[in-house]
Structure 1
Amino acid sequence: MTTEALTIDVNGHALLLSADRAAFDPLLKTLFIADAHFGKDAVFRARGIPVPIGTTGESLARLDALVTAHRPESIVFLGDLLHARESHADETLDALAAWRARHRALRLVLVEGNHDKHAGALPALFGVEVVKEPHVLGPWALCHHPQTVDGAYALAGHEHPVYRLATRVDSVRLPCFRIGPNAGVLPAFGAFTGGFEVNGEVRREAVYVIAGERVFPLSDRPRSTIAAS
């Protein structure tokens, strides 16, 4: 199944927002992914909560699809690559090792998030560079925690934004991108993550909601900063 990407202009720089819950800079050939939380299912099982196996595999399948679609040279994870110490379970590390073997040429960079500090680093054989926030790359200041950074546009994760759409009889919470004048927040990439409802938080931001295989704007403000094509 093919998902769509919506190209927006952020302060003169193209950024593709993917329905696979990631963003792509075509000039830098870099994917940005927030809050993968790989191994969260293993953490729950280790702590006695019987959740099914397979969420890490589902997330890695979407990551494969993104690599196939965009042919990036690098991936920057905007924090919380792993969920907790128990994410180092064999089932999770084996799945990650198999994925890495398929994409050995990719440069992988992790902007350290709060969960990463507790989970611990992946073994060196995975070849993941760990950096502190803000990590400046081209026009972007890459962060885990949402913030503003002088002289760059900040892209972050951490809050797992979702937007509630409602009718008189029903409602649905959908992952979304928050794109403001100076900073944006990506949706959580992980398949087994909760979400922070941002309906009451949105002010001078454009919101792009993911519904199935599509990304569509709920708002086109602020027009001076954001344009979709």
Structure 2
Amino acid sequence: MNHLIEIAGEQLLMLPQKALYWPRESMLIIADIHFGKAASFRALGVPVPAGTTSANLAALDDLIARLPVRQVMFLGDFLHARAARAPATLAAMQAWRARHPDLLLTLVRGNHDAHAGDPPPQLAMAMVDEPHVIGPFAFCHHPDVMVPSYVLAGHVHPVYRLRSGWDSLLLPCFLVGPERMVLPSFGAFTGGHPVLAQPGERVFVSSGEAVLEIPRSSLG
């Protein structure tokens, strides 16, 4: 179940699939997909599972099928590292792009993009630096960019620890403050960083099926 929120006078949908949707612009907003991260680790001899690129692309396909998406905004860290440019990874990405030739793709460069380099030209992505301002929003990778617009960013991979007695569970979350929203990492095999809400911030966790707000009284 999606969660509708009004930010800077615009309606946005927080999606259980760890993405954001801006209906007025038919824009899907994705943070930290980290294509090729598993391939980068395998190149270093670390035995991690294959298939994360396929999982990321399938997750994108699912959202594009569910929503009227005209454009996708990637908030940085599209490729994990130069080692992510494995032939199989690039071929899968190019095949995905060929299935969606009319989509407008934009990448706001993040810290990993600075090392990995821009995506191959065959992906036909517009490359921009932060802050990239459209309407009331500044699309950024880093949340601490100081601009007058409302910041939509990634980088942190926020997760929130839910506790019940002795049990606890880490869930990806949207961290929403008066001047910025930090999106969860969209990519498979990207991990997360536990966050604590600061005064004025709201936390919305994703169970994979629904987005739910953590009551302020439970945030501590």
| Pairwise same-fold verdict (TM > 0.5) | yes
Could you tell me which residue of structure 1 aligns to residue 84 of structure 2?
87
Q: What is the Cα deviation at residue 148 of structure 1?
A: 5.0
Could you tell me which residue of structure 2 aligns to residue 24 of structure 1?
21
Could you tell me which residue of structure 2 aligns to residue 58 of structure 1?
55
Q: What is the Cα deviation at residue 202 of structure 1?
A: 3.0
Could you tell me which residue of structure 1 aligns to residue 156 of structure 2?
159
Could you tell me which residue of structure 2 aligns to residue 197 of structure 1?
194
- Write the distance in 2 (CA, Å) between the matches of 1:71 and 1:87: 30
1:148 and 1:183 in contact (8 A); partners too = no
**Amino acid in the other structure paired with 1:92:** T
Distance 1:65 1:125, change over 3 A: same
Alignment of 1:125-140 (within 5 A): 125-140=122-137
Q: What is the Cα deviation at residue 103 of structure 1?
A: 0.8
Q: What is the Cα deviation at residue 150 of structure 1?
A: 3.7
Q: Which runs of 5+ in 1 are unaligned?
A: 222-229
Q: What is the Cα deviation at residue 149 of structure 1?
A: 4.2
- Write the distance in 1 (CA, Å) between the matches of 2:198 and 2:63: 28
Q: What is the Cα deviation at residue 45 of structure 1?
A: 0.3
Aligned counterpart for 1:173 among listed residues 145, 170, 174? 170
Percent identical among aligned pairs is 50
SS for the counterpart of 1:75 is: strand
- Write the distance in 1 (CA, Å) between the matches of 2:216 and 2:29: 22
Matching of residue 78 in structure 1 with residue 78 in structure 2 = no
Cα deviation code 1:127-170 (max 9, x no counterpart): 01110000001111000000254431100000000000012221
Q: Which runs of 5+ in 2 are unaligned?
A: none
SS for the counterpart of 1:27 is: helix
Matching of residue 207 in structure 1 with residue 203 in structure 2 = yes
Which TM-score applies when normalising by structure 2?
0.95
Could you tell me which residue of structure 1 aligns to residue 105 of structure 2?
108
1:160 and 1:196 in contact (8 A); partners too = yes
Cα deviation code 1:184-217 (max 9, x no counterpart): 1000001111111113x43211110001311011
Aligned counterpart for 1:142 among listed residues 129, 139, 148? 139
Q: How many residues of Structure 1 are paired with residues of Structure 2 in the alignment?
A: 217
1:141 and 1:149 in contact (8 A); partners too = no
- For structure 1, which segment, 210-219 or 145-154, has the greater mean C-alpha deviation from structure 2 after superposition? 145-154
- Write the distance in 1 (CA, Å) between the matches of 2:124 and 2:163: 44
- Write the distance in 2 (CA, Å) between the matches of 1:96 and 1:216: 32
**Amino acid in the other structure paired with 1:31:** L
Cα deviation code 1:7-54 (max 9, x no counterpart): 111132100000111101000111110000011010010000011111
- For structure 1, which segment, 80-89 or 167-176, has the greater mean C-alpha deviation from structure 2 after superposition? 167-176
- For structure 1, which segment, 146-155 or 84-93, has the greater mean C-alpha deviation from structure 2 after superposition? 146-155
Which TM-score applies when normalising by structure 1?
0.91
